[in-house]
Amino acid sequence: MAFIVQTIAGENQLELGAEEFVRKMDFGTNWYAIRIALRLCVNDSGGNIPAARLVIGVLQGSTYGFTSPNCVDFIGSQATGGVQTWQRYTVPTRYDASNGNSQGLKKVGAIETTVASSAGGTANFACPSTHGLWLVDITKGNPNYAVRLWTTNAAPDQTQYLYWQNIDNQFAPQSVSTLGIASVPYAGSGLFDTVSISWNKSSPTMLISDVYVIRYN
């Protein structure tokens, strides 16, 4: 069960430890292109994080999440390279998930399909008490969905002010670098109405300060 914590004084954060967060979108299935925008950090474990995996995307319904073997269609993105070791660096303290390209991801039932992006890059995750941005753009297509990932590199702490300032620009958001676009084949109904965020580690935990979904059209 996810908890609300205040690891950073005065700031409520959703804490995920080997858990999944799902939430219905207000506009339901009525969208063509959206951005899932997160301001987040990882609790500092003092060392590398082996076999880490962060998955963000959309589901059909909220009964079965991405982590369920009964998942009813998921489209989204996973941290570069999928399950891998995230390296810890200092000045500033952060985790680097740059081992490989970012990947588009589809799941139907228990079957996952990954698609490499068009470019590689570095995905840096800040540790308390700083924040990073993680933006996932999803555009419907027939038959392929375009999934694009943006993350902060070694940018300054992303305050809430910078978060709101940077996430609205659909094509060139500030303070982030694109890790490329993945073309994910999909032949289902496309009735995606629920956001899903999952983190596979019980320690260290993932801390999410803000989640916002922007519908472009």
pLDDT tens figures, 54-76: 899 999 999 999 999 999 899 99
What is the reported pTM? 0.90
Assess if residue 42 is contained within a domain: yes
Number of domains in the chain: 1
Asked whether residue 6 is assigned to any structural domain, the reply reads no
Summarised one tens digit per residue, pLDDT across range 5-27 is: 545 556 788 999 999 999 999 99
Q: What is the rounded distance in angstroms from the CA atom of residue 135 to the CA atom of residue 149? A: 6
The verdict on residue 29 lying in a domain is: yes
In a domain, 158, yes or no: yes
CATH number of the CATH domain containing 119: 2.60.120.200
- C-alpha to C-alpha distance for 134 and 118, rounded to whole angstroms: 18
Note whether residue 149 is domain-resident. Answer: yes
User: Residue 87's beta-bridge partner residues?
Assistant: 96
For residues 70 and 92, the model is more confident at 70
Residue 70: inside a domain, yes or no? Answer: yes
- Whether 18 is in a domain gets the answer no
Domain that holds residue 202: 23-215
Residue 17, domain member (yes or no):
no
